[in-house]
Amino acid sequence: MGKITVEFCEIEGLKIITPAVFEDARGYFYETYHYEAYKEAGIGDVFVQDNQSSSKRGVLRGLHFQIHHPQAKLVRVIKGEVFDVAVDIRPGSPTYGCWHGEILSAENKKQYYIPANFAHGFLVLSQDAEFCYKCTDFYHPGDEGGILYRDPQIGVKWPIAEGMEIILSEKDTKWGGLDSLKRE
């Protein structure tokens, strides 16, 4: 393939993508997305929306998902560093409730492919971070679901540094645990 290297995770469907980066005295160049290369790697999704967020150290966003309009996501960081987490919430999956976390940064340029029917969230580890992601469906405001980031049943090991203040949105403080998912 040459354009990307793909690492498979212990949870079926999750993939870590490292692009081929071409550097010289001027700086660097790499393709952030190439449909044919990703399709060859088993990611044939059609992405319909790109999003970008900026967050400061300690911001934890998630764990979010869309209930009736699930989205696959291709996520990356263009400034700073985050710990990015996906939780398998696919009904009937042998790894239901299991999670995988990955450090994504502007420096390592890794991308994380998260299939539909996973809850997703991230914690900002650097002073600030800019986070970009492609989605396979449009955002539907009334369709959002979530799981509390510290649900003991899931047991995500967030790398919270001593003295780090965790900053959550109001809605992210109110999600229930995995057992409380209301999926029709």
Which residues are annotated as catalytic?
A: 64, 133
State the DSSP H helix or E strand holding residue 55, giving kind and residue range, or none if neither: strand 49-56
Strand partners, 98: none
Tokens (6 digits) for 72: 């696959």
179, HSE (Cβ side, Cα atoms, 13 Å): 3
- Residues in a beta bridge with 146: 64
Taking alpha carbons only, the member of 59, 7, 78, 19 closest to residue 164 is: 59
